[in-house]
Amino acid sequence: MRPFSPLLILALGLTLMACDKGPEDRLLGYVEGDYVYMALPEAGRLTEIAVKRGDHVDAGAQLFALDATAAQARLDKAKADLKEAESKLADLKLGERPEELAIIQAQLESARASLMLSEPRVKRRRELVKDNVVGIEDLDAAEASILEDRGRIAEYTARLAAANLPDRTDRIAAQEAAVSAFRAAIIEAQWSVDERKAIAPAAGSIEDVYFRLGEEVGAEQAVLQLLPPANIKLKLYVPEPLIGTYRVGEKLAVSCDGCPAGLTARIDFIASKAEYTPPVIYSDTSRAKLVFLVEARPDPTAPADFQWHPGQPVEARKAAAGS
């Protein structure tokens, strides 16, 4: 039998070393999703579910809605209260109405006319008193009538002047405060109406729906589960002797069963504490050894029809330089 050449032995040795190294530079892990649990701040009856499990939704799409009858009624009442308060404030700033001004003006004219009659009457009574035709009492009554007319003229003149002025400053300030309070009530009521509908904060897939149409939902109780693509991450485990060779921002080449070639991810978290290999990670070389958790975010370069699935096992290695 011809002996092996030294070069062939060296080549075989290097090949075996490379095969042994393979598992050491391979990181095992799985896909995980940071789910968004869609809930509303107030309780209510579910009146609309616009999606089902497995649907893809765009950002801003309506997901579900609760009964808004009571909230809409509060909003309508707040709007009516504001309209009434604004009308009262405008009335206070304008003063009396034209019809009320006309009444005061008529009363003033009546007092002036009465005075015009009372003054000649007093003169006649004085002549009659001199001639002893009437008593002094009649003269006193005529003079009292003049004083009464002059008093009425002064009163209606003052009332007319006051009626043409705005209302008192303190009453106007109080009404302005009431208007501000009703405007705030409208904002609160409008918020309550708006919060009866759940809107998708980002595009993503509906992973689960927990309620059916017509059921009662508690305040802040999740109705469905949304998973945006940006919330996908890879949880990988690095053996303790190799943890010092990995850096945040480092690029990894990722592979998984049935996945397209060329998938990559970047490390965005490295745990500061070691742990034992999770039971879900099956590896003869790393089982029961200390490892460090590393999280990586997939690069958005995957094919459009490719989708990561939470729980899916993955493998990762350091990406080759220049890849």
Domain ranges (residues) in the chain: 23-34+229-318, 36-66+196-227, 76-190
pLDDT for residue 131 = 60
Low-confidence spans in the chain with pLDDT less than 50: 1-22
Q: Does domain 36-66+196-227 have CATH number 3.30.750.24?
A: no
pLDDT for residue 96 = 56
Residue with tokens 């990561």: 308
Shortest CA distance to 239 belongs to which of 294, 280, 282, 320?
294
pLDDT for residue 51 = 96
Residue with tokens 């508690």: 218
Task: Give the architecture (CATH level 2) of 23-34+229-318.
Answer: Beta Barrel (2.40)
pLDDT for residue 1 = 41
Shortest CA distance to 238 belongs to which of 25, 74, 65?
25
pLDDT for residue 127 = 66
pLDDT for residue 3 = 47
pLDDT for residue 282 = 54
Single pTM value for the model: 0.64
One fold for both 36-66+196-227 and 76-190? no
Q: Out of 3.30.110.30, 1.10.287.470, 1.10.10.10, 3.90.120.10, which CATH number does the structure's domain 76-190 have? A: 1.10.287.470
Contact (CB, 8 A) for 115 and 153 = yes
pLDDT for residue 45 = 96
Tokens encoding 14: 């290097």
pLDDT for residue 154 = 82
Contact (CB, 8 A) for 122 and 139 = yes
Question: Which spans in 164-205 are helix H?
Answer: 169-194
CA distances in angstroms from 268 to 242, 288, 291, 318, listed in the order given? 17, 25, 17, 14
